Structure 1
Amino acid sequence: MHRFRQVDVFSSAPLLGNPVAVVHDADDVSDADMAAFARWTNLSETTFLLRPTEPGADYRLRIWTPGGELPFAGHPTLGSAHAWLEAGGVPAGEDLVQECGAGLVRIRRTDRLAFAAPPLMRSGPVSEADLARIAGALRIDVAEIAGSAWIDNGPGWVGIQLGDATAVIGLQPDFAAFGDLKIGVLGIYPPGASDAEIEVRAFCPGYGMPEDPVTGSLNAGLAQWLAGSRLPASYVASQGTALGRRGRVHVETAEDGTIWVGGDTATTVDGSVLLPGADG
């Protein structure tokens, strides 16, 4: 048996954020069993905490969707850090340092946990051919796209800006047309219309879930693209409205230029899990 927690991320109220399943002390769990458990939970991500292998790391994290493993993802990073600390983990320094497929990720503890946005693996303009594919998948006209950029920090995100938040909430994508696309969409709220500056949606059917409720990696990429230009240097993003959630992602640009992506975290399930082939 392994200790297990399910943590709700990016919401201060129960059951309104994005849950992540976290398995503790998972060094003895095989890749096949990690994949099988991720399919069984059917959450957007399931994670496994292991002993670190890189100097300076407090723990190693492996992140799985129902469709496969990711090098990095944001809400699993925050939820797993929450679970590790709650289980008695003590970081070597002031910040936590997570080892994952994308390298070392810093996580700070202030009013809430926040991770430092990792470097983009792909950035820059989106081709006309890709924009046509994206517009078709979103069931919109290319002319409705107000801005676009590759913002891939591991999962493969491309960022799309629409005219406003209402346009984002009203999207009804054609998931059969996505292929390998992972599309993040944002729209700005009019002043005073929300407690957040923007509404965000994340569409990623290739990972086994059509839409992710609240997405740290996407919001990190969007901030690296737009914070300080089309968006304030620090702001709050709303995500999950169209799915009946109330996610809030807190983006802060530090004086040294580091973008911190944070959110509230709370354990909703605490127990143990029996995995095939692991004695626990």
Structure 2
Amino acid sequence: MTTPSRRRRRFAQVDVFTEVPYVGNPVAVVLDGDGISDRDMAQIAQWTNLSETTFVVPPTSGEADYRLRIFTPGGEIPFAGHPTLGSAHAWLESGGTPKKPGEVTQECGLGLVPVRISEDGLGFRAPALRRSGPLEDGHLDRIARGLGIDRARIVGHQWVDNGPGWAAVQLASADEVLALKPDEQHMGELVLGVVGAYPEDSPVQFEARAFALPKGVREDPVTGSLTAGLAQWLIGAGKAPRDFRVGQGTCLGRQGVLTVESHGEDIWVGGASVTCVRGTLEA
């Protein structure tokens, strides 16, 4: 660590998109992140070895309750979904009081992200996409090679990048998504989400998987930012209803469930969170 004088800082590890501990997606949250250098934040994120580690610091916007720095093992990213909800959960649990009743306002690399508070948990408003539109032929070829499938099995595709760089492809069914055995040699350059639908009347309407080796994440258990991008694409294209549920993490032994709700033109992605670790971190 390069910080000249270390001190104890409040720390939590929160399991997101689950009501049951240890079956969702954990995020490490340093609640007193002010004064930690960028280099030390990156080092701590490598050490926790989670898909994301966050640092709560004072906001620069008068509208925000706090500013969130989000790090993967590969470096800082402007936005991510489960770290947004897990950090808001930890901040509220530690005594944080929102400026707006019933809503936390997070500042991050994408700007201001509202997080609604409800009896069912927290939900963030899907941010505008940085990149949208169909994927290029060369990119689709690389994706098919990485997933180890014939390109004809990809029934839909779209850029759904809201910060991490997501490209997304749709397969014919959730079973096809679950059966994938990606080739890591060819997946290395891809930041990719894969989605497929379950049969009608299933309790969960879609299954998703997320791969992001360039961010240091081989397969992410449950991914809010990807679901936000998928929802904007699938709802806009008439491929999904305005409200639905997504399962993720099945292939990793997890049981993540993400809810998508449309309110007017806004799409909200939410779910339950549970704190599994409380304590202090020295940095």
Shorter-chain TM band: over 0.9
Partner residue, 2:56: 49
More displaced 10-residue stretch of structure 1: 86-95 or 151-160: 86-95
Residue 178 (structure 2) aligned to one of 145, 169, 182? 169
Letter in 1 for 2:210: A
* 2:242 corresponds to 1:233: yes
CA contact (8 A) 1:165 1:189 kept: yes
Deviation at 1:185, TM superposition (A): 0.3
Letter in 1 for 2:9: H
Residue 191 (structure 2) aligned to one of 172, 177, 182? 182
Partner residue, 1:159: 168
Aligned equivalents of 1:147 and 1:241: distance in 2? Answer: 22
Partner residue, 1:32: 39
CA contact (8 A) 1:21 1:45 kept: yes
Aligned equivalents of 2:152 and 2:261: distance in 1? Answer: 31
CA contact (8 A) 1:35 1:66 kept: yes
Deviations 1:13-71 (A, max 9, x none): 11110000000111111111100110000000000000101120010000000011010
Partner residue, 1:96: 104
Letter in 2 for 1:119: A
DSSP-derived class of the 1:227 partner: helix
Partner residue, 2:14: 7
Q: CA RMSD in A?
A: 0.9
> Percent of aligned pairs with the same residue?
56
Q: Which runs of 5+ in 1 are unaligned?
A: 276-280
CA contact (8 A) 1:107 1:113 kept: yes
Where do 4+ consecutive residues of structure 1 move more than 4 Å?
A: none
Q: For 1:142-157, list aligned pairs within 5 A.
A: 142-157=151-166
More displaced 10-residue stretch of structure 1: 264-273 or 87-96: 87-96
CA contact (8 A) 1:199 1:237 kept: yes
Aligned equivalents of 1:12 and 1:86: distance in 2? Answer: 15
DSSP-derived class of the 1:236 partner: strand
Partner residue, 2:79: 72
DSSP-derived class of the 1:185 partner: strand
Partner residue, 1:278: none
Letter in 1 for 2:208: V
Deviations 1:194-245 (A, max 9, x none): 4200000001111112000000000000000002611110000000000000
CA contact (8 A) 1:132 1:142 kept: yes
Letter in 2 for 1:54: S
DSSP-derived class of the 2:217 partner: coil
CA contact (8 A) 1:186 1:200 kept: yes
DSSP-derived class of the 2:15 partner: strand
Aligned residues: 273
CA contact (8 A) 1:64 1:70 kept: yes
CA contact (8 A) 1:25 1:51 kept: no
Partner residue, 2:126: 117
TM-score using structure 1 length: 0.96
More displaced 10-residue stretch of structure 1: 141-150 or 226-235: 226-235
Aligned equivalents of 2:141 and 2:31: distance in 1? Answer: 43
Partner residue, 1:209: 217
Aligned equivalents of 2:232 and 2:65: distance in 1? Answer: 26
Deviations 1:106-145 (A, max 9, x none): 0001121000000000000111111101111111111000
Partner residue, 2:116: 108
DSSP-derived class of the 2:159 partner: strand
Deviation at 1:180, TM superposition (A): 3.0
DSSP-derived class of the 1:123 partner: coil
Letter in 2 for 1:189: Y
Deviation at 1:96, TM superposition (A): 0.9
Aligned equivalents of 1:261 and 1:71: distance in 2? Answer: 17
TM-score using structure 2 length: 0.95
Residue 261 (structure 2) aligned to one of 252, 255, 268? 252
